[in-house]
Amino acid sequence: MMRDNIPNSQNDEPAIAGLLASSKTIAVVGLSSKTFRPSFGVSQYLQSAGYRIIPVNPNETSILGEKCYARLEDIPEKIDIVDIFRRSELVPEVVESAIHICAHAIWMQEGVNNEPSAALARPAGLFVVMDLCIAKELHKLRS
């Protein structure tokens, strides 16, 4: 995926569609094995849509049949999207890790906003989405 061709506007539906179409691997930070949690349902939906889900949660060993990692830096493969299910004040550390591993995009789920982190990620070449559900956006595109 060529990051230079992706605008950094979360309101740019064609850019979001392009990101979702060109991405294959999504690291889900804060993914829980508790089936009632939004992170579980969203990840299950993304997995059923053909994405490779990599859980990032230091308190888990395996979720949805995938090995869990404590940190983004521990994942031994390339990550397209870092999907964040953490409180807004915990986002800066995740974004710094995403920049360090050269992820292509940061996706902050509904209710998650951190403009200073977004301002750090954009110049590093990451596409940034805030306060949107990746599953809902994918569902809209497929409907």
pLDDT tens for 92-110 read 999 999 999 999 999 999 9
Query: Can you read off the two tokens belonging to residue 73?
Result: 């830096």
| Mean pLDDT confidence for 59-70 | 97
Structure letter (DSSP) for residue 69: B
Three-class SS state of 127: strand
Residue 4 — pLDDT band, cuts 50, 70, 90?
very low
Domains along the chain with CATH numbers = 22-142 (3.40.50.720)
Q: What is the sign, positive or negative, of the torsion defined by CA atoms of 138, 129, 66, 32?
A: negative
d(CA 49, CA 95): 25
Q: Which residue has the tokens 């004040």?
A: 89
